[in-house]
Structure 1
Amino acid sequence: MSTPDEAELCYPHLGNSSCRRIVRSHSVSVLLHIILSSISVLTVTLNLLVIISISHFRKLHTPTNFLLLSLAVSDFSVGFLWMFQILLLDGCWVLSAGWCVFNAVVTATVASASVGTVVLISVDRYVAVCDPMHYQTKVTVNRAMIGIVLCWLCSVIFYSAMFKDNLEHPGRFNSCAGDCKVYIPFISEIVNLFLNYIIPFSIIVVLYVRVFMVAVSQAQAMRSHVTVVTLQSSQKVNRSELKAARALGVVVVVFLLCSTPFYCVALSRGFADISATSFASVLCVVLFNSLLNPVIYVFLYPWFRKCVKCVLSLQILKSGSKNLRVNIITYTY
């Protein structure tokens, strides 16, 4: 029989070379597993519905919706990454060191692609609201696709270089058996902080402040009835774009709120000094945003609700369903 001390080890047969397990009551442990597993399943399911909806219905093949599709793909990937966070609940990593590094690289890549996509969404809304007359020519499907591909490609290249030492020597920086640590050079931490937090979040805030100012000025003009006849059509377009901007603004604000705690911890302690369990805790807040995005769509996007009904009722299996008119356009809210 194992002694109480051995029972707290991740690998009791390895003795002192094993990491210690976080001991919780059985009820608490079961509850945590149920909650995280439910979040994982919901995240995968809801984002899969977004992916199917935008990919299937041709009426939704617009620049803005393709950006939402990119965000849904990253959120869908996050749903699977929750499994790795569940494995770290007791502080023991039971998979190989290679899988530990894989988890870190994929998580960072997906999170970075999400940040880049949100920046592209902010740019899209800025052009739509502040320069509506030239929106159709400036923001095209091809340009949106190029932006998405570059966003993902840059994320893959950057984090492959950032985790180079870990990829070449997986498990090299683990302090004990059952540990899951990755080493990030200090200069890489600083570059990562600027590229994935300070710079993009500054751009997002500046662009949405500008959108807000335009919205306020238009509201004042409408209240004072200062409307020029020649501008009535552009005012109508702008009003529609402003509704879309407000809806996407909720997505952006929630994204900022969920991402900030992780970088606050990183700034106060440094990425390299965060234990696997602490890292998993703050990371869960970031990953939880991937569940919130499709939930926001359900409440704010009528087109998404209509598409979900078509998908769940299997109407998409019918011939010609790609061209089905479900009374949905990108900016009808």
Structure 2
Amino acid sequence: MYQPFESSSRDVPRQGLLLAIDVGGTKTHVACYDIASGQLRSDIVATHADGLHGVAALERILDTARACAEAFQGAPLLSVAAVFPGVIRGHTLLMAPNTPGLDGLDLHELIVRGLGCPSVLLDNDVKAGALAEARWGALQGIDNAIYLNLGTGLSAAAIVNGRLLRGHNGAAMEIGYLLSPFLDSEDPARWRTHAEGAAPLEELFSGTALGELARQLLGEGHQALDLFSSGDAVVRRALRERITACAVQVANVAVALDVECIAIGGGLYRQASLLEPLIKDLIGRIVPFAPHVVAARFAQDAPLWGALSMAMDAAHLEQIDQRVIAATLEPVVIP
């Protein structure tokens, strides 16, 4: 399990490559940073292209990663960091319904063998995203914060007293497993929970869940983002109810942790402006010491940057070329 870099006692490398891999439910992002030139190359591949799952899907991802590294013409690969949706326990992935076939595999061994690099780190994607925001982004210099990722799934990470909150099993802030606030409190026996293979809040509010809602209310062929552009009153009401459910639970977590800031990222959030005022308003009403709500600097690729941060620490590299970071979007405070 990744631990933040805390020592500068080793020599800082002057050349070599750092490889970051962000495996998502839909797409996998790969980035390779060359220390000598300060250049960053990246690529994207469908996670389950051609219907591939498990080892076959991972091998295709590693093919893309190798090609990205080989573009630097023989520079040695110093470290690799790969992040996944779900819980990393040792060398394996658990609780990862969005990447079928990868759970239970010895991911560390497969990546070490596939890339020929012994220095391989694994972690949860959203926790990696929080690391990126804390190191370079919207949470820089903030000791207590939440990073909320709205994408294919729904998850979050927390910085508590300047440290990433992991929990006993590495599953802290897997908020997709929280109950919906609209459940019938008088009949708990009817609740669908993790024991039944459910992720209640994620099944209510996530890219996948809203895609299903769009097809139900708007017809086949429609996607989650079509809900936000619809003027239909029924659609708007259903969407608002789901946003409210998510915001209520995020507010509950913010009360429990007493955070200063909440940074929100992910592909769904970046494109759905209706989320901004609703989430900020509800959190402002519910949380006694209301935190600032901001857009993540790395709005759609925070996990990839977090993986790069992990690879830096593994190689004992404290900084990368600032021009690489400056090329990304600046944070935007939600009005």
TM-score where L is the length of structure 1: 0.25
- Where is the strand percentage greater, Structure 1 or Structure 2? 2
- Where is the helix percentage greater, Structure 1 or Structure 2? 1
Q: Which has the higher contact order (CA 8 A, sep 6+)?
A: 1
TM-score where L is the length of structure 2: 0.25
